[in-house]
Structure 1
Amino acid sequence: MHRVAVLALHGVVPFELGIAGRVLGAARDARGRPLYTVTTCSVDGGAVQAEADYELAVHHDASVLGEADTVIVPPSHRLGTIREHGLLPDDLRAALAGVRPGTRMVAICNGAFVLGAAGLLDHRPATTHWREADLLQRLFPAARVDPDVLFVDDGDLLTSAGVAAGIDLCLHLVRRDHGSEVANEVARSCVVPPWRDGGQAQFIRRPVPRSAESGTAPTRAWVLERLAEPLSLADMARHAGVSVRTFTRRFRAEVGTSPGQWLVRQRVERALHLLETTDWPVDLVADRAGFGTGASLRQHLNAVVGITPQAYRRTFRGRRGPVPATV
């Protein structure tokens, strides 16, 4: 079982503190057994003053960090010398020194400042809440801060923007560790969307359409039912009953990416699901995902996840066998 330690600091934001326990704690294998243990700790094992008007009783000290496979640092509104000078307090520095080499480090929102002060962001891509990104870059100039994305996965170092992006990141961890079927089941349990691309825009200036406009959600649902069919931007605009220009503008305002980029990613997700859960040949997977040919699927899969269909299938077949699917 994968051991996760969540480090609660004074000023912790309760919502983000609870994300790991709720999302990772909902992940189950085929027999219903939990796939993660999630333990919350503080630096000294004592109560933590939350960002809200209450304290949180924490029953573990930082020694659990040394036993964890993944350490998660949620955001805090009381980072003090970390935000001011990029320096860790002595007690927090000592606590993080106990983390084993190779442990996966994860930060939600401004938890990235803690990882930066620990020297973990140097020469690594990272993100945080868009309001905090400039400060993060100034304090840690060796980091490669991207203020525009929901989360960044750099192998053993993962960072996200705030609030809902923390949910996206934890779902991504489940998907990366155990595949899309488990992640989708977790999303259903938590009643959240199963996937948002980490590269999706953080800050959407007009996320809710004006009352005089109709949204693109019905068209997106229509597309998801027809991924295997050849679909053009004109087809989507026609379904929405607007011009291509208007549809593109509304789509980007609501989703944070272009219709074409969104469509490719949905098809990639469909292909990954079929590679995990069926024995279909790659050409058939490509056809059912809307890519037409195996060569097209290989090209898109390599661009999005950096791996071939065969390699992806071998990786996930090592974790569980295929589930029969109807051709």
Structure 2
Amino acid sequence: MGEFDLIARYFKRKTPSALQPPAPSATNSVAIEAPPIALGIGDDCALLTPAPGQQLAISTDMLVKGRHFFPDVDPAALGHKALAVNLSDLAAMGAEPVAFTLALALPPERAADDAWMSAFAQGLFALADEHRCPLIGGDTTAGPLNICITVFGQIPVGQALRRDGAQPGDDIWVSGTLGEARLALLALQGQIELAPERLAVLRERLERPIPRIALGRALRAIATSAMDLSDGLSGDLTHMAVASGVGAVLDSMALGKAVGPVAECVSPRPADPVSLALTGGDDYELLFTASPGQRDTVNALAVASALPLTRIGQIRSGSGLWLDDGAGGQSAIARTGYDHFA
């Protein structure tokens, strides 16, 4: 099968369903009209027509076999995650998905594997359809398995959530639960043992993260800053604090509550929940700050969206990250986020 045959068979779609504007959600009752896709797959460039009063939000992520995913990963899960990690970046900015491009390097034997290619495309497009985010172009080549997606979103001018808006006195919040993807990774690497049924659940957290698009939209009017958690809380919060020119104090008890249960580990026990929250990556939850006056609003949002939102600390003047032990003591938190070149 040639390159253009592969594109036509697995990635060129005729359904218009992904081009429809998103429906109102529990956290945002106003649907946003997606800008028209003037031209998609098949020419030298795709053409987008930004809607009046909107800015484009653009993000790129790359997944490399052996570094970002295991060779035996379910191809449908891989297709899902490849797009999900990009959509998570849009969520962190409060942006609405518009479209994406796909650059795909494939070993020749993988390109000829119809079952694998079909499952990969199914996982990719299932998530794309869920968020009305069509594939509009890209590239394919022979080589080691490598997936690179660029996603395009839109957001009203002046409403983008950024990392540099945190203010002293702001509360620090996280969505969902932390550390479960890390537990799955440790189990798959053979460092801990999990009951098979528990590993299956946690592996979903690692390989099928849920982009918090609706939450990001709702936070536009609430948060002072936001970002997604991909490389571990201590590293990602450091990025936010440095960008905002502030420091941060985390509450060890609250942080422990934000971590998924670790009791299912048979042996050996992993790091304590606080360390797991600080160092675990691949959570793809949202980290955001908001003024204390927004606490009731955030708690109501958690109820409306059926998504835990946990207040884990506070922004303060100065610099650095600190951990409050609940007994009056504070200790500095080392930055331990994932670094590909460290």
Q: Shared fold (TM-score greater than 0.5)?
A: no
Higher relative contact order (CA 8 A, sep 6+): 2
Higher helix share: 1
| Higher strand residue share | 2
